[in-house]
Chain A
Amino acid sequence: MLVVVAPTSGGADLAGVLGDLAGQDHQNLIIRVAAPADLDTAVDGLDPEHVLPIRRAGCYADAFDAVVASKTLASSVVFCRDDVEPAPDAISAMLACGEKHDAAIVGCKVVERTRPDRLVSVGLGIDKLGGTMHRVDIDELDQGQHDSVSDALAADFSFFLVDAELLASLDGFDRHIDRVGDDVDFCWRAHAVGAKIAVAADAAVLHDPPRLDTRRRMRHQLRSVFGTYGVANLLLAVPLLLVLSLAELAGAILTARPRRLRNIVGAWTWNIARLPSLFERRARIHRARAVADVRLRYKLLDRDPAWRLFDYTRHDADEERNRGQEFVDALRSASTRAGVAMWLVLLVAFVFGSRLILTGDLPAVGQFQPLPDQPGHLIAQWWTGYSKAGLGVESVGPTGALGAGLLFTVLSPIAEATRVALFVSMMPLAAIGAWKLSRPLGRTHARVALVIAYLAAPISYDAFAGGDWAALAVYAGAPWMLWRMVRLLRAAPYGYVGGTKHPSVPNQPLLYQSLILGVVIGLVAVATPFVVFVVLALVCGLAVGSFFALQMRGIPRVLIGVAIAGGVAVLIHLPWVVALLERPLDWNAVGGSTPATDSGVSFADLLQFDTGPAGLRYVSLGLFVAGIPGLIFGRGWRLAWASRGWFIAVTGFAMAWVAERGWFEASMPNAELLLVPAALGLAVAAAASVAAYEIDVVDAHPRKVPARKAVVGLIGIAALAVATLPGVAAAFDGRWNIPKNDLETAVGFVALDQSDGPFRILWIGDDSVMPLRGWPLDDEGSLTFAATDGRAPTLADQWLVPENDEAGTLREIVELASSGRSARIGSDLAAVGVKYIILVEANATFVSDRIDVPESLVRALGRQLDLRVVDGTNSAITVFENQVWVPTRVLTPSVEGEATDLTLGRTQLQPSGYAEFSGRLQGDSTFFLSAASDRWTLELDGEVQERSSVDGLASQWQVAQDSDAVVRYETPGRYRALTLIQLAGWVVIIISIAGWRSRMERGV
Chain B
Amino acid sequence: MTPSRWPLLLLIPAAFIAGLALDERERDDVDASAESVEADPIQTPVVLPGGTGTQVWYCSGMTSGVEGAAQGAIILSNVADSDRTAVITAYSSSDTPADAPVVSQIEIPVGSRVDFTMTQLIDRPGFTAATIEIEGAGVLVERSMVGLGLDRQPCATSTSTSWVDPAGSTLSPDGREVLVLFNPFAADAVVDLRFATEFGERITTEGEGLVVRAQSVTRFELTERITEAEIVSTSLTVRSGQVVLDRLQTFDGTGDLGREGLSSGTAAAQPSDIWYFPHFRLDEGRQELLVIHNPSTERAEVDIEIYAQAGAGVVIPFERSILGGQREVIDLSQAPRLQEAGVTDFSAIVVAANGVEVVPARFLSMLPALVDATELESGDIVEPSIGLGSHIGSINPAPRHLVDIRKPTGSDGSQLIVFNPSVDSIVTAELVLPASDARLTSLEVAPRGFAILLLDDLEDASTIEVQASGDVVVGRELAGLTSRSVALGVPLAE
Contact = CB atoms under 8 A, between A and B. Distances in A.
B231 to A, nearest CB: 29
Contacts of B20: 603-604, 607
Given A598-B30, A640-B3, A822 B53 contact: yes
Interface in A541-557: 548-551
B161 A862 contact: yes
B23 A871 contact: no
Contacts of A883: 186
A548 B8 contact: yes
A643 B3 contact: yes
A148 interface: no
B16 A650 contact: yes
Nearest to B158: A863
Contact of A821 (B12, B54, B161): B54
Interface string B207-239: 000000000000000000000000000000000
B240 interface: yes
Contacts of B241: 862, 869
A631 B9 contact: yes
Contacts of A859: 40, 43, 158, 160-161, 242
Nearest to B53: A821
A495 to B, nearest CB: 16
B3 A548 contact: yes
B200 interface: no
Contact of B5 (A632, A856, A860): A632
A856 B53 CA distance: 18
Contact of B240 (A636, A860, A871): A871
A849 B41 CA distance: 29
A636 B2 contact: yes
B186 A868 contact: yes
A281 interface: no
Contact of A650 (B5, B12, B41): B12
B54 A823 contact: yes
A868 B53 contact: no
Given A821-B137, A869-B241, A548 B11 contact: yes
A867 to B, nearest CB: 8
B378 interface: no
B19 A822 contact: no
Contact of B23 (A548, A632, A657): A657
A653 interface: yes
A862 B185 CA distance: 9
Contacts of B159: 862-863
A526 interface: no
A821 B42 CA distance: 9
A689 to B, nearest CB: 12
A824 B133 contact: yes
Given A816-B53, A869-B241, A823 B131 contact: yes
Contacts of B26: 661
A646 interface: yes
A607 B23 CA distance: 12
B249 interface: no
Interface in B158-173: 158-161
A524 interface: no
A542 to B, nearest CB: 14
A639 B3 contact: yes
Bin the interface of chain A by size: 35 or more
Contact of A653 (B19, B48, B53, B186): B19
Contacts of B2: 550, 635-636
B184 interface: yes
Interface string B43-81: 100101000111110000000000000000000000000
A646 B241 CA distance: 56
A602 interface: yes
A893 to B, nearest CB: 25
Contact of A657 (B19, B137, B160): B19
B52 A821 contact: yes
B376 interface: no
Contacts of A657: 19, 23
Contacts of B9: 631-632
A549 B242 contact: no
Nearest to A647: B12
Contacts of B15: 650, 654
Interface string B22-34: 1110110010000
Nearest to A657: B19
Interface in A638-663: 639-640, 642-643, 646-647, 650, 653-654, 657, 661
A820 interface: yes
Contacts of A602: 23-24, 27
Contacts of B27: 602
Contacts of B1: 550-551
B48 A821 contact: yes
Contacts of B185: 865, 868
B41 A819 contact: yes
B336 interface: no
Interface in A508-550: 548-550
Nearest to A862: B242
Interface string B329-346: 000000000000000000
Interface string A852-863: 000010011011
User: Which has the most chain A C-beta neighbours within 10 Å: B2, B23, B133?
Assistant: B23
B23 A856 contact: no
A959 to B, nearest CB: 33
A634 interface: yes
A865 B5 contact: no
Contacts of A653: 16, 19
A682 to B, nearest CB: 11
B483 interface: no
B463 interface: no
A821 B52 CA distance: 7
A578 B257 CA distance: 81
B187 interface: yes
Given A650-B16, A863-B159, A883-B186, A820 B48 contact: yes
A654 B2 CA distance: 28
Contacts of A654: 15, 19
Contacts of B7: 548
B157 interface: yes
A353 to B, nearest CB: 30
Contacts of A551: 1, 3
B40 A646 contact: no
A657 B18 CA distance: 12
Nearest to A650: B15
B133 A823 contact: yes
A856 B41 CA distance: 9
Contacts of A824: 54, 133
A643 B15 CA distance: 13
A381 B48 CA distance: 43
A544 to B, nearest CB: 9
A550 B2 CA distance: 7
Contacts of A604: 20, 23
Given A643-B8, A859-B160, 13 more contacts: A603-B20, A603-B23, A636-B2, A654-B19, A657-B19, A661-B26, A816-B53, A821-B48, A821-B137, A822-B54, A863-B158, A863-B160, A869-B241
State the 7 A-B residue pairs at the shortest beta-carbon distance, nearest first: A821-B53, A820-B42, A603-B23, A823-B56, A863-B159, A549-B3, A856-B40
Interface of B: 1-3, 5, 7-9, 11-12, 15-16, 19-20, 22-24, 26-27, 30, 40-43, 46, 48, 52-56, 131, 133, 137, 157-161, 184-187, 240-242
15 contacts: A548-B7, A550-B3, A602-B23, A603-B23, A604-B23, A631-B8, A642-B8, A654-B15, A859-B43, A862-B241, A862-B242, A865-B184, A866-B186, A869-B241, A883-B186
